[in-house]
Amino acid sequence: MLFETHTINSGRPGPALLIIAGVHGDEYEGVEAVRRLMTVAEEDLACGSVTLVPVANLSAFEAANRTGEDGLDLARTFPGAPDGSITQRVAHALFLLIKQSDAFIDLHSGGKLFRLSPLVGYMLVDDHSVLDLQRRMAQAFGLPIVWGTTAALDGRSLSAARDAGVPAIYAEYLGGGACSADGVAAYVDGCLRVMALLGITGPPTTPDNSQPTLDRHVVEDPRAGSGHLQVRNPSPIAGTIEYDVALDDWLSAGDIIARVRPSDGGDAVAVRADTSGRVICLAAGSHVEAGVSVAVVLEPYPPDS
Q: Which of 94, 22, 85 is nearest to 54 (CA)?
A: 22
Report, in Å, the least distance between residue 220 CB and Zn ion: 21
Give least dist CB 206 to Zn ion, A.
30
CA dist 150 and 134 (Å) reads 14
Between 108 and 232, name the residue whose CB sits nearer to Zn ion.
108
Whether the CB-CB separation of 260 and 244 falls below 8 Å is answered with no
Question: Looking at 92, 108, 136, 193, which residue binds Zn ion (CB under 5 A)?
Answer: 108
Phi, psi for residue 72 in degrees, rounded to 5: -85, 145
Q: Which is nearer to Zn ion, 101 or 157 (CB)?
A: 157
Q: Which helix (H) or strand (E) holds 29?
A: helix 29-37
Q: Is 232 in the site for Zn ion (CB under 5 A)?
A: no
Is 74 or 192 the residue whose CB approaches Zn ion more closely? 74
Contact 125, 150 (CB under 8 A): no
How far CA 15 is from CA of 156, 202, 209, 253, 282, in Å, comes to: 23, 12, 20, 44, 37
From 100-108, 214-222, 255-263, 289-297, give the range in contact with Zn ion by CB under 5 A: 100-108
Is 243 strand, coil or helix?
A: strand
Minimum Å gap between C-beta 75 and Zn ion is 6
Interacting span for Zn ion (CB under 5 A) from 87-95, 101-109, 121-129, 243-251? 101-109
Rounded-to-integer distance, Cα 71 and Cα 109, Å: 19
- Count of residues in contact with Zn ion, rule CB under 5 A: 3
Least distance from Zn ion to the Cβ atom of residue 302, Å: 27
Annotate each residue in 11-50 with x if it binds Zn ion (CB under 5 A) or - if it does not, as one string: -------------x--x-----------------------
Q: What are phi and psi of 294, to 5 degrees?
A: -100, -15
Least distance from C-beta 174 to Zn ion, angstroms?
12
Residue 77 CB, shortest distance to Zn ion, in Å, is 13
Written as one letter, the residue type at 47 is C
Which positions lie near Zn ion, rule CB under 5 A?
24, 27, 108
